[in-house]
Chain A
Amino acid sequence: AQKITQTQPGMFVQEKEAVTLDCTYDTSDPSYGLFWYKQPSSGEMIFLIYQGSYDQQNATEGRYSLNFQKARKSANLVISASQLGDSAMYFCAMRGAGSYQLTFGKGTKLSVIP
């Protein structure tokens, strides 16, 4: 079984600043994948970034990067140069090699302040 913990119900960040959204996970699978999704108020889940458990380097996608610390079982999302359009719910999720489903955390609501 997998478990995702997001301890920040809400975060505020000034426009153009960087922000880190925390995610810790628990799994007994030796191989797994970690995902971050964005959910704007419209409701659709938008994939942002993926990190494999055996990847040697931290994943990056444009302004998004994943700070992966395997020993600490953390996979924090870093958003650089925040924009007003980044205001949304952010969900961390994982999938173990032995399953096909994603297990999600409760999410963090990010608000970008102009």
Chain B
Amino acid sequence: GAGVSQTPSNKVTEKGKYVELRCDPISGHTALYWYRQSLGQGPEFLIYFQGTGAADDSGLPNDRFFAVRPEGSVSTLKIQRTERGDSAVYLCASSPGISIHNEQFFGPGTRLTVL
């Protein structure tokens, strides 16, 4: 079946602009996660959704970052007033449940470059 998809694959924007990154999880997966991966680092957690609600947004770096999942499937990560430090690969993952053994299936990521 289809895996996690993310669009766009690459996004170049100018400092101060607004961007939206989209994630389409595996069908039927209730849990959805966003991570950010900077160059040479492992992914860092941003936010977790269970269904439509953000169950844990403790990883969002500041209030310029916001994410939604209005119908419990597709999610959008929104970044306002982008800064050069926001440049990174943004990874989305989904899992069929929240049991500790449930692996998270990752998408290919969106590479964001802020000029």
B55→A100 contact, CB < 8 A = yes
In angstroms, Cα B43 to Cα A104, docked, is: 6
Give bound CA distance, A111 to B37, whole Å: 21
Knowing A100-B31, A100-B48, A107-B42, the reply to whether A31 touches B106 (Cβ < 8 A) is: no
| Number of B positions contacting A (CB below 8 A) | 28
Q: Mark A17-52, 1 if CB is under 8 A from B, else 0.
A: 000000000000001110101000011111100101
How far in angstroms is the closest Cβ of chain A from B30?
11
B100 pairs with A52, CB closer than 8 A: yes
Interface size class of A (residues with CB under 8 A): 20 to 34
Q: A33-B100, A52-B100, A95-B100 are in contact. Are A47 and B56 (CB under 8 A)?
A: no
A47-64, CB under 8 A of B: which get 1 and which 0?
A: 100101000000000000
Of A31, A42, A45, A103, which is in contact with the most chain B CB atoms at under 10 Å from its CB? A45
Residue from A43, A47, A91, A97 in contact with B89 in the complex, judged by beta carbons closer than 8 Å: A43
- Using a CB–CB cutoff of 8 Å, the interface residues on chain A facing chain B are 4, 31-33, 35, 37, 42-47, 50, 52, 91, 93, 95, 97, 99-107
